[in-house]
Chain A
Amino acid sequence: MVAQQETVLSDEQAKWLQEAGTSVKRNAFYMKRALDDDNLREALRYSAAMLGELRTSLLTPQRYFELYMQAFNELQHLEGFFRDETKKGRSYADLYELVQHAGNVLPRLYLLCMVGACFIRGGEGAARDILKDLVEMCKGVQHPTRGLFLRSYLCQVSKGLLPDTGSEFESEEGGRIQDAVDFLLLNFTEMNKLWVRMQHQGAQRDRDRREKERQQLADLVGKNLTYLSQLEGLNFELYQGQVHPRVLEQVVGCRDDLAQQYLMQCVVQVFPDDFHLGTLSPLLAALPQLQPGVKIHVILSSLLDRLARYASVQSTVVEAFDEAGVFQKLLEAAKSVVTQQSGMQSADVTAMYIALVQFTSAVYPDRLDYINQALTACHTALAERSAQEGEGVGAEKQLVQLLSIPLDSYDVVTVLALDKYPSVMALLSPPTRKEMAVKIVDAILKTGTLVDTVQRVGMLFDFIAPLATDVEGVEAPEDDEDFEEEQNLMARLMHQLKAPTLDGQFEVLKAARDRITQGGPNRLKHTIPAIAFAALAVVRGLSAEGQQGQSKTEPVLQFIHSLTAQLAEAGGAAEMALQLFLAAAQAASDEAHLDVIAYEFFEQAFIIYEEAIPDSSSERTALASIVGALQRIRVFSPDSRASLVHKATGYSAKLLRKADQCRAVLACSHLLWQEEEAQADPPSANGDTPAPAPEPSATDDASPDDSSPAGRTSEAVQLQAPVRDAEGVMSCLKRALKIAHAAQQQTAVARRANDTEPVSLFVEILNHYIFYFEAGLPTITASVLQNLLDLVQNDMAGDSCQKDSALVAFYKNTLGHIELQRARGGPAAERYKQIKVPA
């Protein structure tokens, strides 16, 4: 409906414009013909008729402008004629009077402006007097659109004719810069009055349209200011003494939103930077006086942009800023705007401070205190407003922007020094606050910033509190994907907490621990592993520094212990806790050489294994990890070790499926046979020398009794020599065979003739025999191996096995391995030669 009306409107407009344009053309034609005939009177008559078309009230400003341009172009002919006219003996003074005989004021004034310009240009008349007369006479047109275009014409034709300093029109009679300034200021004032008045004419319902139309005319008014700024003679004194106060007086006094908005920005844009610096106080003082609808922050931010750019070009400018107390002035101005513009929206208040903070970070990169002051002021303003309105602040977007500036401009660690930052953040709604926290964490991660002191860690957690703890008044977060992502972010953040020294690092981690443990079990699950691993890195660092001993590493390991215990208690993270205990156990062994603690970690891992591992698949993985870790441990005394091996083997035999039991027991066999080179990085800091190979002590019936080292003090111990318990290994292997047999019998009983798994277990066992045979285990002789080989060969001959291609391949690969080993040469090859490999 509205669109339809607008179309109709625009059709009519086009028609009216066309009609008026035709008339302009026609009259211009006659005018030109009269000019050709040198008939001045007729030319004037037709030009007045042509200009009479501009008396229309029908056209929108946009269309009117088009018409104006047509007339403007035609007038140039007349002007050209007038320039020559004096050569024919007619004085401009006469012409100046003659055109005033026109009966209608609008055409008369256009002609007057034009002749006036010729008058000045010809040097016949004093610029000052003529300009003064023109700008005064133009008052005759009080219609806003027509008046604006007329005065714009005046502005246009008089450009270059002003008695500016150094201009040819400057003289005692012609006037001085003062007169040029007066002229432009007066024209500006009158134009602004007309422009403002436009708003108050016509029906209320057309308000929006009118505003749009007015917007289109803004530049006509602003042109005066532009010309003012272009005056050669406009020095700072003149600007400060006259131009600035008079322009501001008009702008403030007009009490019009649109005009104030546009003109203030115009002032900021057109006049030079140093002028602004010199008139900063009055300029800022004007801001609070502007209409409530004016977006002061927009003005302020253009001003600040300029000042910032100014400062960036010249190094001395910042000094000048300091001398002038620029920051304090700006801050006071912002405060004053907030106080006096009680209706100002929080979003705009914030936008204003955004501008201020942007300025500050650009101009005063070192003055964090300034940013803090700005944040304080912003916080005060918003807190008051939200208190009054009894609602949220409602400037989320702006606040986020405000809070993001320091993040973009500074190292996050630097930002942490802004103690007002968290309170400004607290103004955000909980979801946004959290987003902001995410942003901060992101910034840290992206830039790789390190948070290196306990104090900073504390601040950081204040900043990102919404991520670290539940937010008051908001439901506890669900453990969903979003939450998980956030907490993963937190976990990643933990690796950015890094002090330069290991002692410091430990302190930092403790500080972080103190904060994250307040976050509830759901968060712990995600964050504890990260801290624990960071702590493990500390242990490694201490070890590298040769501080394996108790005094340094033990507190860290205890720290990890208590964290992991907390994690285990939190529930739902049993596997993770178990893995952490195992990792810690390895660190306690490999790095710290603290057997008691390593033992304790294993104990804890076993407790979790027994109590908390939810299903058989997890059990299998957990046990594999336990066995894998224990296999590598070299810190334990034979007794301690035996006790743990016993447990592990025991658990293996208790797995649900026979196949799992069998494989686990096979794995356990390695607990009794440590390779020399299995220790990839043997710590050598304390110069451990391989101890003599211990007597085989771990037996099937070894029990974890008094050999447990729990009661001993933890001191760094020397690593033990690799365990080489051939009997133990054999015992495991035999146990595996037993399980495989049992499995075979089970399938027979269950008449699952096609189940080849037991056979594949045998093949696997065979491979372990081969492993140990090659490792030189004395208990596995060629004949032992041959026996097993024959056994498997026999089993493999079965139909179902032959159909199982994977099994066949496995077996074939096994035999192939033997062949290859045999062909390779060396001692193992010699021993293999005793083996008869089935064809």
Chain B
Amino acid sequence: MKNILGNLGLATTASVQLTFKRGDGQPLKTATLKTKGGEPEQLPLFSSKETICAEVKVANSPGKKVDHYGIKVQLLGQIELASERGHPQDFLSLVRDLAPQGDLVKQETYPAEFANVEMQYDSHRGIQVRLRYLLRVTISRSYANSVVKDFPFWVRNYEAAPAPVPNAAPIKMEVGIEDCLHIEFEYDKAKYHLKDTVVGKIYFLLVRIKLKHMEVEIRRRETTGAGTHARNETETLAKYEIMDGAPVRGESIPIRLFLSPYDLTPTFSNVHNRFSVKYYLNLVLVDEEDRRYFKQQEIQLFRLLDDKAAANGTAEAAHISS
């Protein structure tokens, strides 16, 4: 509310523009995000330890002088829970003064630079929490509300591919319902990058129910709070049918699930002690009477360093079918 009013006030007095630039002089990268309205939104994209440069243009309304106590730009990292909307918690705050107290009589341009900023958390827009980064330009004024304007940007961090572990055990687990259904599932590994492919197999050790089909779901669980106050929100991001019909004992069904079509993020664990985002593969078996049997298995997601170049645009989300 304060911001909105401030902006309204400013609109009559001063305008603020900010242009992001990279410290290394390379063209600016952007991230394309889906918004709730469906219109894609483009945001400048940075990673931790990068230098964020900005060019801030401040202009007064023609013929009107703006006096102020000073102009600054802040780099903020905020975590905002849905339950405490409007009161984000800053986990990162850096400031650069752009101009001392004075009068603004014409348009001024100020460069700003945040070098090697540590932005350990990825940007996140979840159901009950979001983590965002922004540059905030403030024109402080004494007699009126200050002019504050936010310029969000997106942060993604990358990991190097983990060194291959020669005898890395796949995720393998035998589950079942006694005398009814015993299966063993196997995913080739526990940790995947976002464009990775999940490869696995389901062995049917015992089948006494008439199955109709089987699918793998990718589920995301966002957790806020801790202990008894913990709150979970789970989303199913993908349903991928891997089997049609009823197998018999001894059959093995292959799984090959490409992650790239889905809007996934890396796994976030305990971000700033406020929230976590975890991913699960949920194996669902549906019988002829539409009863569902499932087994959920957490997988770790990370953003592969090699993806960095491609990350300029969003991944191609080719949802071929519903």
Taking beta carbons and an 8 Å cutoff, which residues of A are in contact with B?
Answer: 41, 44-45, 48-49, 52, 55, 97-108, 136-137, 139-144, 146-147, 193, 197, 201
Alpha-carbon distance A98/B239, docked complex (angstroms): 16
Contact in complex: B321, A48 (CB < 8 Å): yes
A197→B252 CA distance, assembly (Å): 15
B239, B248, B254, B261: the one contacting A136 at CB < 8 Å is B254
With A97-B258, A100-B256, A137-B254 known as contacts, the answer to whether A49 contacts B321 (CB < 8 A) is: yes
Flag if B246 contacts A143 (CB, 8 Å): yes
Residues from chain A with a CB closer than 8 A to the CB of B310 are: none
Most B CB contacts (10 A, CB to CB) among A52, A101, A103, A137 go to A101
Find the A residue at minimum CB distance from B322. A103
Contact residues in B for A107 (Cβ distance below 8 Å) = 321
Knowing A101-B261, A103-B240, A137-B256, the reply to whether A142 touches B247 (Cβ < 8 A) is: yes
What 1/0 flags go to B238-279 for Cβ under 8 Å of A? 111111111110011110101001000000000000000000
B320 CB-CB contact with A under 8 Å: yes
Closest 7 A/B residue pairs (Cβ): A143-B245, A142-B245, A102-B320, A142-B247, A105-B241, A103-B321, A141-B244
Report if B2 contacts A (CB, 8 A).
no
Contacts of A142 in B (CB 8 A): 243-248, 251, 253
Decide: B321 and A139 in contact? CB cutoff 8 A.
no
Would A45 and B251 be within 8 Å (CB), given that A142-B245, A146-B245 are in contact? no
With both chains docked as a complex, state the minimum distance between the C-beta of B110 and any C-beta of chain A, in angstroms: 45
Residues of A within 8 A of B213 (CB): 105
In the complex, the answer to whether B318 meets A140 with C-beta atoms within 8 Å is no
Contacts of A98 in B (CB 8 A): 318, 320
Q: Which residues of B contact A103 (CB under 8 A)?
A: 238-241, 319-322
Determine the residue in chain B with the shortest Cβ distance to A42: B320
- The distance in angstroms between the C-alpha atoms of A99 and B321, with both chains bound, is 10
With A101-B319, A107-B321 already in contact, the answer to whether A55 and B244 are too (CB < 8 A) is yes
CB-defined contacts of A141 to chain B, threshold 8 Å: 243-245
| A and B contact pairs by CB, cutoff 8 A, 10 listed | A44-B320, A45-B321, A52-B321, A98-B318, A99-B320, A103-B239, A103-B240, A105-B241, A137-B256, A142-B244
List the A residue with the shortest CB-CB distance to B239. Answer: A103
Give every chain B residue within 8 A of A143 (Cβ-Cβ): 244-246
A207 to chain B, nearest CB (A): 17
Known A-B contacts A101-B261, A139-B253, A140-B254; the reply to A201 vs B320 at CB < 8 A is: no
**Interface of chain B, main secondary structure:** strand
Central interface residue in B213, B238, B322, by most chain A CB within 10 Å: B213
Partner of B243, one of A49, A140, A197, A201: A140
Scan B202-242; emit 1 where CB is below 8 A from any A CB, else 0: 00000000000100000000000000000000000011111
Provided the pairs A136-B254, A137-B254, A197-B248 are in contact, do residues A102 and B243 lie with their beta carbons within 8 angstroms? no
Contact between A105 and B243, CB atoms less than 8 A apart: yes
What residues of B have a CB within 8 angstroms of the CB of A147 in the complex?
A: 244-245
Q: Chain A residues with Cβ under 8 A from B246's Cβ?
A: 142-143, 201
Q: Measured between C-beta atoms, what is the minimum distance from B171 to chain A in Å?
A: 20
A267 to chain B, nearest CB (A): 24
Q: Which residue of A lies closest to B211 (CB)?
A: A142
Which chain B positions have C-beta within 8 A of A146?
A: 244-245
Residues of B within 8 A of A41 (CB): 318, 320
B245 to chain A, nearest CB (A): 3
Chain B residues lying within 8 Å of A139, measured Cβ to Cβ, are 251-254
Give the nearest-CB partner of B238 in chain A. A103
Min CB distance B315 to A, Å, is 12
Across the interface, name the chain B residue whose C-beta is closest to A54: B244
Q: How distant is the Cα of A373 from the Cα of B238 in the complex, in angstroms?
A: 70
CA distance A816 to B256 in the complex (A): 122
Nearest-neighbour CB distance to chain B for A342, whole angstroms, equals: 29
Given contacts A139-B252, A140-B253, A105 and B318 within 8 Å (CB-CB): no
- B240: chain A residues at CB < 8 Å are 103
Query: Once the chains are docked, how many angstroms separate the CA of A143 from the CA of B321?
Result: 21
Q: Is the CB of A140 within 8 A of B319?
A: no
Q: How far, in angstroms, from A612 to B318 measured CA to CA in the complex?
A: 113
Minimum CB–CB distance from B211 to chain A (whole Å) comes to 8
Closest chain-A Cβ to B86's Cβ sits at a distance in Å of 39
Interface of A is mostly: helix
A114-B320 Cα distance, complex, nearest whole Å: 16
Q: Which A residues are in CB contact (< 8 Å) with B243?
A: 105, 140-142
B248: chain A residues at CB < 8 Å are 142, 193, 197
Q: Chain B: how many interface residues by the 8 Å CB criterion? A: 24
Q: Which residue of B lies closest to A194 (CB)?
A: B245
B320 touches A45 (CB 8 A): yes
Question: Once bound together, how far apart are the Cα atoms of A55 and B212, in whole Å?
Answer: 11
Nearest residue, chain B, Cβ from A138: B254
A142 to B256, CA, bound (A): 16
A103 to B253, CA, bound (A): 16
Cα(A108)–Cα(B242), bound, Å: 10
Chain A residues with CB below 8 A from B318, complex form: 41, 44, 98, 101
A244 shortest CB reach to chain B, Å: 24
Q: Which residues of A contact B322 (CB under 8 A)?
A: 103
B254 partner residues in chain A, CB cutoff 8 A: 136-137, 139-140
Residue of A nearest to B319 (CB): A101
- Closest B residue, CB atoms, query A112: B256
Q: How far is the CB of B321 from chain A (nearest CB, A)?
A: 5
Contacts A140-B254, A142-B253, A197-B248; A105 near B242 (Cβ below 8 A): yes
User: Considering the chains assembled together, what is the distance between the CA atoms of A197 and B244 in angstroms?
Assistant: 14
Q: Which residue of B lies closest to A104 (CB)?
A: B241
Q: Once the chains bind, are B244 and A48 in contact (CB under 8 Å)?
A: no
Known contacts A52-B321, A101-B319, then 15 further A-B pairs from the complex at CB < 8 Å, ordered by chain A residue: A48-B320, A55-B244, A98-B320, A101-B258, A103-B240, A104-B321, A105-B213, A105-B243, A108-B241, A137-B254, A140-B254, A141-B244, A142-B246, A142-B251, A143-B245
CA distance A98 to B247 in the complex (A): 27
Q: A139-B253, A142-B251 are in contact. Are A101 and B244 (CB under 8 A)?
A: no
CA A52 to CA B258, docked complex, whole Å: 20
* Chain A minimum-CB-distance residue to B245: A143
Complex contacts, A49 vs chain B, CB 8 Å? 321
Known: A100-B256, A100-B258. A140 touches B242 (CB 8 A): yes
| Complex CA–CA separation, A106 to B212 (angstroms) | 13
Bitwise interface map of B from 308 to 322 toward A, beta carbon under 8 Å scored 1, else 0: 000000000011111
**Taking the nearest CB of chain B, how far is it from the CB of A682, in angstroms?**
97
State how many angstroms separate the Cβ of A40 from the closest Cβ of chain B. Answer: 9
Considering the chains assembled together, what is the distance between the CA atoms of A41 and B261 in angstroms?
Answer: 12
Expressed in whole angstroms, the Cα–Cα distance for A99 and B318 within the complex equals 10
Q: How far is the CB of B288 from chain A (nearest CB, A)?
A: 10
**Minimal Cβ-Cβ distance residue in B for A98:** B318
CA–CA, A49 to B319, complex, Å? 13
- Among residues of A, the one whose C-beta sits closest to the C-beta of B317 is A101
Nearest B-chain residue to A141, judged by Cβ: B244
- A193 surroundings in chain B (CB, below 8 A): 248
Q: Within 8 Å CB of B321, what residues of A?
A: 45, 48-49, 52, 102-104, 107
Nearest A residue to B262, CB-CB:
A101
Interface centre among B241, B258, B322 (most CB of A within 10 A): B241
- Cα(A105)–Cα(B245), bound, Å: 10
Nearest to B255 among chain A residues (CB) is A140
Residue of B nearest to A111 (CB): B320
Complex contacts, B244 vs chain A, CB 8 Å:
55, 104-106, 140-143, 146-147
In whole angstroms, what is the CA distance A97 to B256 when docked?
10
In whole Å, how far is B182's beta carbon from the nearest beta carbon of chain A? 16
Q: Which residue of the partner chain, among B242, B247, B320, contacts A101 with CB atoms under 8 Å?
A: B320
Distance, CA A41 to CA B247, complexed state (A):
32
How distant is A137 from chain B, measured CB to nearest CB, in Å?
Answer: 6
Give Cα A377–Cα B170 distance, bound, in whole angstroms.
60
CA distance A436 to B289 in the complex (A): 62
Complex CA–CA separation, A620 to B321 (angstroms): 109
How distant is B225 from chain A, measured CB to nearest CB, in Å? 34
Chain A residues with CB below 8 A from B251, complex form: 139, 142
Q: Return chain B residues, CB-CB under 8 Å to A101.
A: 258, 261, 318-320
Bound CA span A101–B254, Å: 15
